[in-house]
Structure 1
Amino acid sequence: MSSAKTLYTILNVIIFLILASIGLGIFVLAMILFGLKQDFIGIGEDVLIYKTEAMLYRYTFLKLVVYAVFVVALWKLRKATKLLLKNDFYNTKLIKDMFNSGKLMILSSVALWVIDEMSNMFFKRQVFVGLSEKTLVYLLIIAMGLFLMLMSTVLRDTKAIREENDLTI
């Protein structure tokens, strides 16, 4: 169970860091929207790359929404890990949280992948052929989401078998 404790701690740190970065992103976006000049962060996105400034805001807002969906996926995985720490493998909540976390991970990864590729093609006029580091990360998160969905299905089936065995005894 020490690996479950380690996973729980890592999920807490990741959720905190992502929430802090989303908060910082909203803060910087609000500063830009209100016309306040900022030089202390060093945003890598140049407004001139986009056709209009509104496209940059839409792009940034879409990414923030996808990151929020990813945080929800991690939160559900954190709740499932908490149930694993209690050795409650046949809990319906555990099965549901693992499955939903996997679905949200897949959704957020595919959405972020599409948003990044669309921004590269339409805004930056770049097309990447092959696997980049970002693509590999997206594929890894998709694989993790599929694994969580598979494990929840396995746990659901073992729960049904256990309930059937309890009835026959």
Structure 2
Amino acid sequence: MSSTKILYVILNVIIILILASIGLGIFVLSTTLLGIEQNFVLFSEDVLTYKTEGMLYRYIFFKLVIYAVFVVALWKLRKATKLLLNNDFHNTELIMEMFSSGKLMVLSSVALWLVDEIGNIFYKRQVVLGLSEKTLVYLSVIAMGLFLMLISTVLRDTKTIKEENDLTI
């Protein structure tokens, strides 16, 4: 099995798991907002650390939106990987999907990092200095997004060179 096929399968599994967790998050958030008592999922956030319950719900809503943007980035990467399986490296759609996936990965990682840090500072009154595991994950996702953008630029340049060579022959 080639590495491209393995990447395609891994992306499918990750997308399914993230969509399931987003669905569970929306379900728990909506049941809590509607006042329905539930005991099967406990919030990891303590409502008392926030000034109002509305702040907690906005915080969770922002995180869910950012996760949805990350799923879109993974979906675009999945489409690019599917195009890579055809060994057509000079495909315009492949280049655009890789570039937009990279941009969305960088955007979602920076946004999630900011939301977490703002939540820690203003709501929980904690300032975490140094590198934590979460920070390293955010930085690695940013690096992957920038790498995808770089590779798409390289592929775009090779496509241009290939088209020029095809015209001279």
Q: Classify the TM-score, shorter chain.
A: over 0.9
1:81 Cα offset (Å): 0.1
1:110 aligns with 2:103: no
Aligned partner letter, 2:130: G
CA RMSD of aligned residues (A): 0.7
Cα offsets for 1:13-40 (capped at 9, x unmatched): 0000000000000000000000011111
Residue in structure 1 matched with residue 85 of structure 2 by the alignment: 85
Aligned partner letter, 1:95: I
1:129 Cα offset (Å): 0.6
Residue in structure 1 matched with residue 162 of structure 2 by the alignment: 162
Residue in structure 2 matched with residue 47 of structure 1 by the alignment: 47
Cα offsets for 1:107-131 (capped at 9, x unmatched): 0000000000000000000001100
Paired with 1:142 and 1:150, the residues of 2 have a C-alpha distance of 12
Residue in structure 2 matched with residue 141 of structure 1 by the alignment: 141
For structure 2, the residue ranges without an aligned partner over 5 or more in a row are: none
Residue in structure 2 matched with residue 29 of structure 1 by the alignment: 29
Q: Which runs of 4+ in 1 moved over 2 A?
A: none
Paired with 1:80 and 1:7, the residues of 2 have a C-alpha distance of 11
1:42 Cα offset (Å): 1.9
Cα offsets for 1:62-117 (capped at 9, x unmatched): 00000000000000000000000011110000000000000000000000000000
Paired with 1:73 and 1:36, the residues of 2 have a C-alpha distance of 33
| TM-score, normalisation: structure 1 | 0.99
Percent identity, aligned pairs only? 76
1:97 aligns with 2:92: no
Larger mean CA deviation between 23-32 and 35-44 belongs to: 35-44
Aligned partner letter, 1:103: K
- SS in structure 2 opposite 1:116? helix
| TM-score, normalisation: structure 2 | 0.99
Paired with 2:13 and 2:132, the residues of 1 have a C-alpha distance of 26
1:41 Cα offset (Å): 1.2
1:57 Cα offset (Å): 0.6
Aligned partner letter, 2:159: K
Paired with 1:71 and 1:126, the residues of 2 have a C-alpha distance of 29
Paired with 1:36 and 1:132, the residues of 2 have a C-alpha distance of 35
Paired with 2:107 and 2:83, the residues of 1 have a C-alpha distance of 24
For structure 1, the residue ranges without an aligned partner over 5 or more in a row are: none
Residue in structure 2 matched with residue 7 of structure 1 by the alignment: 7
- SS in structure 2 opposite 1:36? coil
